[in-house]
Amino acid sequence: MSAETSIKTAVFPVAGDRSPLQPATRATPKELLPILDKPMIQLAVEEARAAGCERFVFVTRPGATHLQHYFAADPAYEATLEARYGAEVAEASRSARLSPEEAVFVEQRERRGLGDAVACAREVVGDAPFAVLLPDDVILGAPPALAQMTARWDGRGAMIAGIEVTRLQVSRYGVMRIDDTGGDIVDVTGLEEKPDSDVTASNFAITGRYILPSTIFDAIAQTPADANGAVQLTDAIARLISHTPTRALRFTGERFDCGRLGGLVRAQVAFALQREELKDDAAAYMRRALLRLDQTR
Ligand code: G1P
């Protein structure tokens, strides 16, 4: 089995319910907000599939069933779409389907942080290495970011997607200390969740794509909660690094923080400019809009 094909399970933590994107997320969970016509969760599932994953584990809030509905086959609805809008629209809708074998839903009983959310997938994941994708980190990459990671992963230890951020931004991220050889793959020598900008020695930030060994589950179980009661995945990975190879990949592509309005706007623009049927119109509109903006300054 080659390393490239050995990650079969992807975990999507989607139990967080506090979103600054209001009022949009009063009734629509953040992961169902679209970038153009695809919900962020759909983009993340497609990215995992492109990396070879065959099982998709969604860690949801207790009682939340919106994703079951979203991924379920709905032949009557799809037939109506086909009759009204044609085969292409119906097919686009059908592409969201996940079979009951592919989609697994587990609940995070209390909001106790990303580490705790990942731990909820323990039984489903079992002993195999697995991927974690945070859907509001939307990445436009070719190949998609997780596929870049699985292609470079040697079958051992952990791999984390990393990006350089500005000093001022480090306090929003998990930050990695690295042995910087200047290459795209670097050894991680330390991790810290959301450090103070003036204290940390690194501005190399964790992006929401991880390949993790199943030993992370014991590490999470041993990780104490932080001052806010959250068990951080970053802290659990920090426990691994002394005995487990832990690397970061500087992936190629652009990452958008779609949990924030600015990132959401940039993602819509970037995705529109990638779409053949939209890009000319979007570009022409932006040129006109920028011209108007310049005239009013
Ligand atoms: C999470 C992780 C953090 C990582 C970030 C990437 O934080 O805890 O280490 O840098 O995702 O988006 P959150 O954005 O959920 O606060």
pLDDT in tens, 114-129: 999 999 999 999 999 9
CA angle 286, 290, 291 (to 5 degrees): 120
pLDDT for position 110: 94
Whether residues 82 and 160 fall in one domain: yes
Dihedral sign of CA atoms 106, 148, 181, 204 in order: negative
277 and 248 in one domain?
no
The answer to whether residues 240 and 190 touch, using CB atoms and an 8 Å cutoff, is no
Looking at the fold, whether 28 and 58 belong to one and the same domain comes out as yes
**pTM of the full predicted structure?**
0.96
Instruction: Tell me, yes or no, whether 221 and 118 share the same domain.
Output: yes
Residues 213 and 267 in one domain: no
Q: What are phi and psi of 249, to 5 degrees?
A: -115, 125
Q: Whole-angstrom Cα distance, residue 120 to residue 108? A: 6
Shared domain check, 272 and 206 = no
Kindly tell me if the per-residue pLDDT of 153 is higher than 80. Answer: yes
Amino acid at 143: P
Same domain, 54 and 119: yes
Residue ranges making up the domain that contains 270: 260-297
- Is the pLDDT assigned to residue 202 strictly greater than 50? yes
The two three-digit tokens of residue 88, written as one number: 């292409």
Residue 273: CB atoms within 10 Å? 14
**Model confidence band, residue 286 (pLDDT cutoffs 50, 70, 90):** very high
Tell which one of 134, 209, 212 to mutate to probe ligand 1, the residue whose CB is within 8 A of the most ligand atoms: 134
What digits encode the pLDDT tens for the residues 24-48? 999 999 999 999 999 999 999 999 9
Q: Are residues 149 and 35 in the same domain?
A: yes
Q: Which residues surround ligand 1 with Cβ inside 6 Å?
A: 114, 134, 137, 173-174, 193, 205-208, 232-234
Q: What CATH number does residue 211 fall under?
A: 3.90.550.10
pLDDT band at 94 (very low <50, low <70, confident <90, very high): very high
The ligand 1 atom nearest the CA atom of 207: 6
257 CA closest ligand 1 atom index? 12
pLDDT value of residue 4: 43
pLDDT band at 221 (very low <50, low <70, confident <90, very high): very high
Confirm if 110 and 226 have CB atoms less than 8 A apart: no
- Per-residue confidence (pLDDT) for residue 3, from 0 to 100: 43
Measured in angstroms, how far is the CA atom of residue 74 from the centroid of ligand 1? 34
Q: What's the number of domains the chain is made of?
A: 2
Average pLDDT in the 85-90 region?
Answer: 98
Q: Do 241 and 190 lie in a common domain?
A: yes
Probe target for ligand 1 pocket from 136, 170, 173, with the most ligand atoms within 8 Å of CB: 173
- Looking at the fold, whether 295 and 204 belong to one and the same domain comes out as no
Is there a single domain that holds both residue 91 and residue 214? yes
In this prediction, residue 1 carries a pLDDT of 42
Same domain (yes/no): 250, 285: no
